């Protein structure tokens, strides 16, 4: 049995590869058969001619015999398929225009979809890189509603509440408090600033991260001068020294003992932490008076506990917690919710935006599929006669369908290859579009997980498999419909002359299907165009907003003083020295320092008490944005001084405390009156009863929100160890970067200087999300429009060919050129109009989803829609005008003779 199979296989392989030889052998065999039969008949007495004729007849149909024999060889299926593919390849090469169009259409749709899919896969679908990530949950505290806002989900936990939760919960095998991600100065030789997280002893076990070397922090014990470093830091700084455990690292001037090394690729929940130190809870934090901003709780569910049960149990602990910690708020109490850790992957708005983009790209895919179907349909139509002849000659229908499908399969494979190229380019572009990680979670809302980042989008095997599956699926689906349809045995119509003209009943049906397809395309394109129009207008509105300062020609750097070197008293002198050094740089026209950067969301807030109003409940006081600045800051940033005076060098430690307020603050707190001379108290830095000495123009914190009231305090009266340097330059700001760094290090070699960027770049980053959305949607809309235009062109073109005779008659009867043109352009615009009507409802509904992303326009903004419809109309007119011109070149007599 096995031997049979073996020889069977050998025979089949030989049949496959030595086909020509075997064919020749078979011919010889059959020829011999006829010869011998002829001889026998001649011997029996027939004439040679007659004998041969009889012999041939006795043989039967030569081709049938050969076909049957070939079948018996058992490889006919493969041989036929190969032959089909060869023929399909030849016929595709003979029509390069059609082939290129079909492949490009498919590739655009599939390539774009794959690129976005890979983004969705990396950012949303791929499991987090920890052990059993679906067991990880985030426990969030819901703070009770106050008069200012409803109950909000607050990541940050007061320490006592956290301890209570940890001790009373039953659903989790480990609970950890993950501190906010930060940065720390590594001092000593080779000073640098590295990502850093403070963690408790449960952090690494909860995430399921085994240490590569050394051991975890002890859960109890006083020593906090310990550190765990990342694998990449160990290799870069310590040359992968095997004796790393026990060595020390100097952070902010203090020595920390290294107790462990994390495995390669792990950089904490923030995705940036090279250094981990034990959580140092201050006395104020232990008492619950101070919150660690940006911290959040991560817990690993016990294997035996289901998700729903965990959520329920956490709710119960929440009630117990509310009782144990009664809130002094107006109404409501604390409660606790548990949710999958996954929700922290992306800022909610980025996640929503990404999913919307995926929806948009699916629309593009749909349009390209529709276009492809239309193309294949028109091609099948053109071959109707050829196929009818084949059927009449006896080709089996299944065989013919397979032969037609071979073309679709080849197109699919080609389309798949080009799609991969497009998708790769697309995914690379997507990673470039997020500068400074602006779209990444950790920066966007404190306490998020930075592990998942836009820069990690890439094409992986899932995406590739997805691409090819789609390509083959699409090709087969849209190829099989015309193939099956055109091979239906109703030959008489097709073989008749003039079949292409009249088309018969089926021809008409096929033509209107193409028209319907084009109308659908236009409807879908309308949706994308409207969406992108809205985003573009939003972008325009955003860019038109005056941020309140001049971002051009300003270089910014961040400086951080190591904590052990920080001397509050000496800072003003340091500021002055550094200012003069930087001012001396060639090209620098003005220098100033501030504590934070506008338009980045980094600036903090504090409570303001106006004049002598009683403090009352701390939460009742208005929030202001305090900014610490040196006197030249207003001039450097071109922020106007509206009344009073600016800071001078006289306003320093020891002098009376003074502040500046922004125009919004002045309007809000002292409406209709002058703000100068008033007294305010800020809940920070001992600024009690400081005097307002001037009012300055508003500086926006965020472009999308309106101005907030700001208060400016002089750096000299309240220095900070971390500050930002602003340098206004006469030439290009980036050219000063190296010189500025050198100058700072000349004054203070141990201070960290990092994050050097021009202010324009930062301002650009603040509009990044809208720009991203507008760019991508605009791109999709363009692709959709191009495809729809191609579709209209195709349909009108066919119309012209089909109605050639009619055109000839019209022109012979005296119709002018204008009339003929109007006829076809009218048809084209009619198609587009039908598409618009069909798609308008859908467009209005779909653009509602963009509500959270648009700025300064309503989603049903009439101007945008009118413009969009006009664009479609003009494109349709152009697309039908081109083939219509062809109609004009028809000679009436030729047309009447036309078949």
Residues forming the site for another protein (CB under 8 A)? 3-4, 7-8, 11-12, 25-26, 28-30, 32-33, 35-37, 39, 58-61, 64-65, 68-69, 71-74
User: What are the distances in angstroms from CA 872 to CA 351, 371, 518, 539?
Assistant: 31, 17, 13, 22
In angstroms, give the least distance from the CB of 10 to another protein: 9
Buried b (16+ CB within 10 A) or exposed e, 474-502: bbeebbebbbebbbeeeeeebeeeebbbe
**Least distance from another protein to the Cβ atom of residue 21, Å:** 12
- Closest approach, Cβ 11 to another protein, in A, equals 4
Provide, rounded to whole angstroms, the least separation between the CB of residue 69 and another protein. Answer: 5
What is the rounded CA–CA span in Å between residue 247 and residue 353?
47
CA dist 61 → 55, 333, 672, 836 (Å): 12, 94, 108, 60
Collapsing DSSP to helix, strand or coil, 667 comes out as helix
256 — alpha (psi -120 to 50), left (phi > 0) or beta? beta
Q: Which is nearer to another protein, 4 or 222 (CB)?
A: 4
Nearest distance, CB of residue 399 and another protein, angstroms:
19
User: Within a 10 A sphere around the Cβ of 360, how many other Cβ atoms?
Assistant: 26
Give the nearest distance from C-beta 87 to another protein in angstroms.
25
Would you say 62 and 30 are in contact if contact means Cβ atoms under 8 Å apart? yes
Cβ burial of 546 (10 Å; 0-12, 13-18, 19+) is exposed
Cα 277 from Cα 258, distance rounded (Å): 9
C-alpha angle with apex 631: 630 to 632, nearest 5 degrees? 95
CB closer to another protein, 27 vs 170: 27
DSSP 125-190: ISPPSSSSGGGEEEEEEEEPP-SSS--EEE----HHHHHHHHHH--SEEEEEEEPPPEEEEE-SSS
Min CB(65)–another protein separation in Å: 5
Q: What are the C-alpha distances in Å from 767 to residues 343, 588, 650?
A: 24, 27, 38
Q: What is the CA radius of gyration of the chain?
A: 38
Which residues are 177's β-sheet partners?
297
- The per-residue b/e assignment along 612-625, b for 16 or more CB within 10 angstroms, e otherwise, is eeeeeeeeebeebb
3-class secondary-structure state, position 198 = strand
CA-CA distance, 114 to 361, in Å (whole number)?
9
27 vs 47, beta carbon nearer another protein: 27
Beta carbon of residue 55, minimum distance to another protein (angstroms, whole number): 10
The CB-of-392 to another protein minimum distance in angstroms stands at 23
Least separation in angstroms between residue 79's CB and another protein is: 14
For the bound state, the minimum distance from the C-beta of residue 32 to another protein, rounded and expressed in Å, comes to 5
Closest CA to 303 of 129, 135, 131: 135
């Amino acid at each position: 049995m096995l031997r049979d199979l073996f020889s069977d296989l050998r025979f089949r392989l030989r049949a496959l590869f030595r086909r020509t030889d075997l064919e020749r052998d078979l011919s010889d065999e059959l020829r011999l058969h006829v010869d011998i039969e002829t001889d026998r008949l001649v011997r029996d007495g027939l004439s040679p001619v007659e004998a041969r004729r009889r012999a041939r007849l006795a043989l039967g149909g030569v081709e049938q015999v050969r076909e049957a024999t070939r079948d018996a060889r058992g490889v006919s299926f493969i041989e036929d398929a190969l032959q089909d593919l060869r023929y399909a390849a030849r016929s595709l090469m003979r029509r390069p225009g059609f082939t290129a169009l079909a492949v490009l259409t498919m590739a655009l749709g599939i390539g774009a979809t794959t690129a976005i899919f890979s983004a969705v896969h990396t950012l949303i679908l791929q499991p987090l890189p920890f052990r059993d990530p679906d067991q990880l949950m985030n426990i969030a505290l819901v703070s009770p509603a106050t008069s200012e806002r409803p109950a909000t989900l607050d990541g940050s936990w007061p320490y006592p509440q956290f301890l209570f939760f940890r001790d009373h919960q039953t659903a989790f095998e480990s609970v950890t408090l993950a501190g906010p991600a930060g940065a720390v100065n590594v001092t000593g030789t080779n000073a640098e600033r590295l990502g850093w997280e403070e963690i408790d002893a449960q952090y690494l076990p909860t995430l399921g991260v085994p240490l590569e070397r050394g051991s975890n922090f002890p859960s109890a014990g006083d020593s906090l001068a310990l550190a765990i470093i990342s694998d990449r830091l160990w290799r870069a700084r310590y040359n992968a020294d095997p004796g790393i455990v026990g060595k020390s690292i100097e952070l902010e001037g203090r020595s920390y003992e290294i107790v462990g090394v994390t495995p390669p690729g792990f950089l904490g929940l923030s995705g940036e932490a090279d250094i981990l130190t034990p959580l140092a809870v201050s006395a104020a934090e232990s008492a619950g008076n101070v919150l660690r901003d940006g911290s959040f709780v991560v817990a690993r569910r016990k294997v035996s506990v289901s998700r729903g049960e965990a959520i329920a149990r956490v709710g119960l602990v929440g009630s117990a917690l509310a009782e144990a910690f009664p809130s002094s708020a107006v109404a409501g109490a604390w409660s606790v919710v548990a949710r999958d850790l996954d929700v922290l992957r992306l800022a909610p708005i980025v996640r929503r935006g990404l999913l919307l983009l995926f929806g948009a790209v699916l629309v593009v895919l749909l349009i390209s599929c529709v276009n492809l179907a239309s193309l294949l349909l028109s091609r099948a139509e053109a071959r109707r006669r050829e196929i009818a002849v084949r059927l009449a000659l006896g080709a089996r229908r299944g065989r013919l369908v397979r032969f037609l499908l071979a073309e679709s399969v080849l197109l699919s494979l080609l389309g798949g290859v080009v799609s991969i190229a497009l998708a790769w380019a697309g995914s690379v572009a997507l990673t470039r579009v997020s500068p400074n990680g602006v779209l990444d979670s950790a920066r966007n809302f404190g306490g998020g997980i930075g592990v998942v980042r836009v820069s990690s989008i890439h094409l992986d095997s899932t995406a590739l498999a997805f691409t090819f599956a789609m390509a083959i699926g699409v090709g087969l689906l849209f190829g099989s419909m015309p193939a099956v349809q055109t091979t239906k045995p109703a030959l008489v119509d097709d073989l008749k002359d003039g079949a292409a003209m009249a088309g018969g009943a089926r021809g008409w049906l096929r033509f209107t299907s193409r028209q319907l397809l084009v109308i659908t395309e236009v409807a879908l394109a309308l949706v994308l165009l409207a969406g992108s129009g809205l985003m573009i207008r939003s972008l325009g509105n955003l860019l038109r907003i005056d941020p309140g300062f001049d971002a051009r020609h300003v270089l910014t750097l961040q400086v951080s003083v190591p904590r052990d070197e920080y001397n509050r008293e000496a800072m003003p002198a340091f500021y002055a020295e550094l200012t003069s050094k930087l001012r001396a740089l060639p090209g620098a026209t003005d220098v100033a320092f501030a504590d934070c950067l506008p338009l980045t969301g980094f600036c903090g807030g504090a409570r303001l008490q106006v004049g002598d109003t009683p403090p009352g409940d701390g939460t009742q006081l208005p929030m202001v944005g305090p900014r610490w600045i040196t006197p030249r800051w207003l001039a450097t940033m071109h922020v106007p001084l509206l009344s009073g005076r600016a800071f001078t060098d006289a306003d320093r430690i020891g002098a009376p405390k003074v502040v500046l307020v922004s125009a919004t603050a002045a309007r809000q707190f002292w409406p209709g009156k002058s703000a100068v001379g008033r007294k305010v108290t800020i809940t920070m830095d001992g600024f009690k009863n400081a005097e307002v000495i001037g009012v300055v123009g508003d500086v926006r914190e965020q472009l999308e929100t309106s101005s907030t009231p700001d208060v400016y305090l002089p750096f000299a009266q309240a220095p900070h160890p971390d500050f930002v340097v602003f340098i206004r330059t006469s030439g290009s700001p980036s050219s000063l970067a190296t010189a500025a760094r050198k100058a700072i290090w000349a004054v203070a070699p141990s201070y960290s200087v990092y994050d050097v960027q021009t202010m324009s770049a930062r301002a650009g980053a603040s509009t990044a999300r809208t720009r991203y959305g507008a760019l991508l949607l605009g791109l999709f809309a363009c692709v959709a429009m191009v495809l729809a235009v191609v579709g209209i062109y195709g349909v009108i073109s066919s119309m012209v060919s089909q109605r050639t005779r009619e055109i000839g008659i019209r022109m012979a009867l005296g119709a002018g050129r204008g009339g003929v043109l109007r006829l076809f352009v009218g048809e084209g615009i009619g198609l587009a109009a039908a598409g618009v009507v069909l798609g308008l409802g859908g467009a209005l509904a779909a653009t509602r989803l963009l509500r959270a992303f648009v700025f300064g326009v309503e989603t049903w903004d009439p101007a945008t829609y009118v413009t969009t419809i006009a664009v479609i109309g003009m494109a349709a007119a152009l697309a039908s005008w081109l083939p219509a011109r062809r109609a004009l070149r028809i000679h009436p007599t030729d047309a009447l003779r036309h078949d």
